[in-house]
Every structure is written in structure tokens, then in C-alpha cells.
Amino acid sequence: MLFAPGLQAQTGATAALDSNLAETGNPFLLHLRIPKSVGQPLHIAYDAWSGVLPKENILQQSEWQLGDQGWEKNLTLIVFDADTLMLPPLPIQIKGADTLFTNPLTLVVIPSPAPDDLNDMAEIKDIHKEPVLWTDYLPWAYGIGALLLCILLIYWILNRRKQQGIQSRVVQLPAHELALKKLEVLRKKQLWQQGDLKAYYAGLTFIVREYLRERFDIPALESASGETIQQLQKHPGFPTELIPPLQELFQQADLAKFAKATPATDYHERALQLAFDLVRNTIPVPEAAPVHPSNQSNA
């Protein structure tokens, strides 16, 4: 994100996003930079963002690194609600000096496609135009055709740039790390404690299905609950002992989302814990490096 040079001169500390457009549930980067001449930065007070971007939405943050252009630090952020966020300046404490403030930022968060949206899109049929006789109006047809081609070309160029901009800011985290962080954020939102069971189970099962898709390469977001269970039963890498609790989770969630039924009160917390256990028990184990024959003989 670009900001005015005059503002940089006033603050001495700059904050910039890869793009001012983000998708719900997708991590993105924020870059902090302080001139080398100002001094070494120490601490950042995130309280200024508490009403807009809670601290738990900061997934990762690097250490301050001194480079050619000064001190630099990167934050990995995530937002789960579509909105236009006005991020106020962040105070940064400088070693042996006063506190500096970054420039304010504007972030537009758009919703990511949900499974229901994908199903609705699959039901949309192509529009078939009826044949039209335009032989008597051939010059008009050529003019209209050329205009349409120009509009389509402009639309294609703008849409491609937009997609490239979104892809450039996505941070690729391991599937289990991203799933655990999303589950922790869901826990802190306390949806079921507020009586919003439908949103709670919808968010919980979406995180689980997204993890199953990335970890075991199955179409869990597009499949029904029974189909997902069948695919996992055939998968050689999925533990069989996790099938029954996962099947119960899908059944209870489907009742809460579609049948307006209410699972037992003690099951809400247990369902979240089941999701945590599912992810932790299926974290990939790094393969041991093969031992070279010469090393064995030396030993």
C-alpha cells in the first residue's frame, strides 16, 4: 500500500500492506520499517488496534531485522469478517528515544467463497441466446460486436490483475498450523456461549473440511458429510480410530445447521476439542534422512 512522503517525514515509522484488499480467512502481510538513523526499535503496543483488529488475529511476527533501508519487521495477519477496517497508527518504542507512530492504514476485507456459495454456483445454468436475424443490419452488428470485444478485453485484464493481487499476498502456512490458529480464533469468539449455534458449527466444520482437503487431498468442501467419511475410510494415511468421532461431529453439526436441532450442551466444547485433536493427531511426521553406506562403515 502506498502512502504520502509527507506522512513518512512526520512519523519516521512506516507501515505498508502488500495490498489493501484481503479475503476473510486468508493470511496477509503487513510490513513495518523504521529508518536506521532513528535508533533500534524495541516494543510495539497493539492496544490501538484492539477495537478493530484484536491481537489474536496476529498469527506471526518476525523479529526486527536491520537491512540497507533500516529496521524491518513483518506481521502475518488474518481477518474473519468482511468489512472496511481503518487501522490507527501503532506506537513503536525506540531504544533510548521517544516513541514513534506509524501511518494509519485502510484495509478492505471481502468474503471468501463458502461451500454453500460453491454449490449455488454449480446450479447456475449458462444463458443461451435465441437466434437473431441481423442480416439487414450488418454494419450495426459489426459495431456492436467490436464494442463488446473491447468491453470483454478490459474486464478480463482488470479481473486478472485483481486475482494476481490477491494471490500475491496469500501466505502459505502448513495446513495444520493454519487450522489450529483458526480453531483458536473460533474458540475466542464464543459463538455457542452467545447462542449462535448455527454460526459456531458452520465455522467449525468449515475449518475441519478445509484442513482435510489440504492435508489428505480430498474434496471435503464440496462433498456431503457421508461422502467425506467414505473418502477418509479409503485413505491409507487417515487413522481409523478418528472416523467415529468425526462422523458424530458432522452429524451434530448438520442437525444444528440444517435441521435447527440443538446438540447437548456439553457437546459444544467437546466438538471443538475433537477438532483440535483431529488436527494434532494427523500432523505429518518428517521422514528421517537416509543413512549413507559410507557413514555406516565408518561407524
Looking at the structure, do residues 167 and 222 belong to the same domain, yes or no? no
Looking at the structure, do residues 98 and 158 belong to the same domain, yes or no? no
Looking at the structure, do residues 189 and 257 belong to the same domain, yes or no? yes
Looking at the structure, do residues 239 and 185 belong to the same domain, yes or no? yes
Looking at the structure, do residues 92 and 21 belong to the same domain, yes or no? yes
Model pLDDT, residue 134:
61
Mean pLDDT of the chain: 83
How many distinct structural domains can be found in the chain? 3
Counting beta carbons within 10 angstroms of the beta carbon of residue 296, is it exposed (0 to 12), middle (13 to 18) or buried (19 or more)?
A: exposed
DSSP string, 38-52: G--EEEE-GGGGTTT
Reference 225, options 256, 195, 180; nearest CA is 256
- How confident is residue 143, by pLDDT bands cut at 50, 70 and 90? confident
**Would you state the cell numbers that stand for residue 295, as one nine-digit string?**
557413514
- How confident is residue 7, by pLDDT bands cut at 50, 70 and 90? very low
Which residues are CB-contacts of 100 (< 8 A; sequence separation ≥ 6)? 11, 12, 13, 34, 38, 41, 91, 92, 94
Looking at the structure, do residues 187 and 272 belong to the same domain, yes or no? yes
Q: How many Cβ atoms sit within 10 Å of the Cβ of residue 263?
A: 19
Model pLDDT, residue 2:
42
Element (H, E) at 147: helix 138-169
pLDDT tens across 57-98, in order? 888 899 999 988 899 999 998 888 888 888 899 899 898 878
Eight-class DSSP state of 190: T
- Kindly tell me if the per-residue pLDDT of 28 is higher than 60: yes
**CB contact at 8 A, 252 and 263:** yes
What is the domain extent for residue 153? 136-172
Looking at the structure, do residues 216 and 230 belong to the same domain, yes or no? yes
Looking at the structure, do residues 166 and 190 belong to the same domain, yes or no? no
- How confident is residue 25, by pLDDT bands cut at 50, 70 and 90? confident
